[in-house]
A and B are shown apart, each in its own frame.
Chain A
Amino acid sequence: MKKIWVIIQKEVLDNLRDTRSWTTGVFWALFGPLILGGMIMLLGNTIREGTEALVLPVAGAEHAPNLIAFLEQQDVVIKPAPEDPQAAVIAGDINVALIIPVGYGENFSGGETASVQLVFDSTRQSAMMDISRAYDLLEGYGSYIGLLRLSLRGVSPEVLHVIQVEEVDTATPQSQALIFLSMLPYFIIFVIFNGASPVITDATAGERERGSLEPLLINPLPRGWVAIGKMISAMPFATFNLLITLVGFAAIFRFLPIEKLLGVQIGLDIGALTSVFLICLPIVILACAIQTLIASFSKTTKEAGTYLPFIGLIPSLPGLALAFLPVKSDLWTMLIPTFGQQILINQFLRTEPISGMNILISAVVTILLSVVITFIAIKLYEGERIIMG
């Protein structure tokens, strides 16, 4: 067994000297936090705009003084619209514009439906906040006047209110920001695979390519130990990448003015990060096992290099989906390695109550799968194909 340690020591030293490989890995590890930070800054700006006063360019304000007065009462800043409101919206100069036609006053006074035009581009995500506010205000004004008219004619306004919808939003103030956080598991898992792949590529396909595998296998130790030693030697690199990523995320949440940008505080403290780190350790084992297996039958480093880092994409994809589709932490989800962990990470970030049983089950299942994969890899190492490629 001591010889496994000899292999680990050699592989770690050898790969540490391959500075270019592992520094590239560190760059990828920081990629996730940088992207997330960038997105928070960008989208944070949009969200914050929502809390500022709505600036509404209006054409023909003189036709509807009451409406304008109502809007101004609701803290809307009325500005004269540009010459061609539609062109201005298309050009992106303004988010939304209100056009009040000449006939408005006449229709309004006559008790008929008076129309106004709201000009906007519904595909522009950043303008959505302004658009919906303007729309809601206009609707609000319409129903307010409508109710007044009914009252004047002696009809109870409740006749119109067949259903009253009361909104019970369970989202905490943090929920909005948590949409960003849901992408975190995706980055984390990808980075783990990415950290292990150069080491494993070099230790298996690389050995064969430079002709050092055959002499290595003549040394007096079971070939399975060689496979295990190589697999374990990739773990520190994968773990290091995982740490870098988590520290990166921690730094983003610590030093970006999240509260100012998103209007909420994110509770990602050292304790939560440590838990996430521990939850991910079984994935490190799995990542190294899967990649050892695949590298053992790829013919060249080039071949291994084309798909090893991307193997991580497959298990991390559900994480991306989790950002949009909430999944409950049912038992079945814990039985799927990497998927269970992604849900657990999300729960940690949402500071939801977490069942210790779920953590245990997902860890045990992941490790069991790793053992099975390692066993297959060992069998491959014991065959003759490993030498011939």
Chain B
Amino acid sequence: MIEVQGLSKSFGKVQAVKGVSFSARDGQITGLLGPNGAGKSTTLRMLYTLLKPDDGSAQIDGFDVRQNPIEVQKRIGVLADARGLYPRLTSRENIRYYGRLHGMEGEALEKQISSLVTLLDMQSIADRKTEGFSTGEKLKVAIARTLVHNPQNVLLDEPTNGLDVMSTRAMRQFVLRLREEGKCVLFTSQVMQEVAALCDQIVIISQGSVSANGSPDDLRKQTGKENLEDAFVAAIGSEEGLMQ
């Protein structure tokens, strides 16, 4: 469960996020949709404690991101925009490192790693050093590392960016599976079709603030448009992000 109230963040004179509020419930997929530079990643970065909000607050499972960052970090799994791996470590070692940083160890950790390896179909690369992995292979390791501590809240920053068709499909299946497990999934995207296909709730962000928020049906009603694409354009006032 993620709750956000009036979150704001500036970098120098540029106000990247202006009073963003929304909530994302367990067992639902919430999409943050908006064009490039709208403030999606900055919002997400504040939620996963990397940046400190200038104003407003956010709670994850009731823990405040500013007051209690460590408790928040324990309850989130994050696939950040930066998803670099350690090239001299194997996939398994990369995942194990994060598991141990979450305080897991021994049998329980190894079992969890093995089940993730099976789930993500990465047996052939599990014990290879990650140097030279393809984008898709790297993503699998990064996802496994994100989920190794079985977090209740999963934050994904543009998870399908740069993936081929098959990997994108697999990624979407995976997000749906997380919803079935009752997780709270929050992801950002600039692709309207993707958000429309997956999300229970859509939060449209443009120029740092929320311009529309609700289920796909709500959005159609709010904007008075029959078509979700038109609704999106009406909400952000431009056609950016539609053509992909």
Contact = CB atoms under 8 A, between A and B. Distances in A.
A211 B80 CA distance: 9
Contact of A215 (B51, B102, B103, B142): B142
A10 B83 contact: no
By DSSP majority rule, is chain A's interface helix, strand, loop, or mixed? helix
B101 A213 contact: no
B22 interface: no
A17 B102 CA distance: 24
Interface string A104-126: 00000000000000000000000
A215 B52 CA distance: 16
Contact of B83 (A215, A219, A221): A215
Interface in A1-20: 2-3, 6-7, 10, 13-14, 17-18
Interface string B69-104: 011011010101111111111000100011011110
Nearest to B75: A220
B89 A13 contact: yes
Interface in A220-245: 220-222
Interface string A267-284: 000000000000000000
User: Which among B82, B83, B89 has the highest number of chain A CB atoms within 10 Å?
Assistant: B82
B209 to A, nearest CB: 22
Given A217-B50, A218-B76, A220-B74, A211 B101 contact: no
Looking at chain B, what size class is its interface with the partner chain?
20 to 34
29 contacts: A6-B101, A10-B89, A10-B93, A14-B86, A14-B89, A17-B88, A17-B89, A211-B83, A212-B84, A212-B85, A214-B50, A214-B80, A215-B78, A215-B84, A215-B98, A215-B142, A215-B145, A216-B101, A218-B78, A218-B80, A219-B73, A219-B98, A219-B101, A220-B70, A220-B73, A220-B74, A220-B101, A221-B70, A387-B51
B171 to A, nearest CB: 17
A216 B87 CA distance: 15
Interface in A116-157: none
Given A3-B103, A6-B97, A14-B89, A218 B48 contact: yes
A10 B100 CA distance: 10
A167 interface: no
Given A212-B82, A218-B73, A221-B101, 7 more contacts: A3-B100, A10-B89, A213-B84, A214-B50, A215-B83, A384-B51, A387-B50
A216 B100 CA distance: 12
B150 interface: no
Contacts of A220: 70-71, 73-74, 101-103
Nearest to A7: B101
B88 A18 contact: yes
Contacts of A384: 50-52
Of listed A10, A14, A17, residue having the most chain B CB within 10 A: A10
Nearest to B71: A220
B49 A218 contact: yes
A297 to B, nearest CB: 17
A13 B97 CA distance: 11
A216 B86 CA distance: 11
A210 interface: yes
A221 B103 CA distance: 10
B78 A10 contact: no
A134 B230 CA distance: 104
Contacts of A6: 97, 100-101
Contacts of B103: 2-3, 220
Interface string A241-276: 000000000000000000000000000000000000
Contacts of B85: 210, 212
A315 to B, nearest CB: 31
Which of B78, B93, B100, B142 gathers most chain A CB within 10 Å?
Answer: B100
A249 to B, nearest CB: 32
A92 B48 CA distance: 75
Contacts of A207: 84
Contacts of B51: 384, 387
B86 to A, nearest CB: 6
Given A3-B103, A212-B86, A10 B52 contact: no
Among B76, B86, B100, find the residue whose CB has the most chain A CB atoms closer than 10 A: B86
B102 A211 contact: no
A220 B77 CA distance: 11
Given A6-B101, A10-B97, A211 B82 contact: yes
Contacts of B81: 214
Contacts of B84: 207, 210-213, 215
A3 B49 CA distance: 19
